[in-house]
Amino acid sequence: MARVFTREEFYEMVWSRPLTHLAKEFAISDVALHKICKRHGVPNPTLGCWAKMAAGQKVNRTLLPKADARTLDRITIADLSRQCAALADVREQARILAW
84 and 26 Cβ atoms separated by less than 8 Å: no
Please give the average per-residue pLDDT across 16-36, as a whole number. 91
- Does the pLDDT value for residue 10 go beyond 80? yes
pLDDT at residue 14, as a whole number: 95
Q: What is the mean pLDDT of the chain?
A: 85
pTM of the predicted structure, to 2 decimals: 0.74
pLDDT at residue 83, as a whole number: 61
Confidence bin at 78 (pLDDT 50/70/90): confident
- Does the pLDDT value for residue 88 go beyond 90? no
Per DSSP, the residues of 59-71 read: -PPPPPPPP-SSS
One-letter amino acid of 2: A
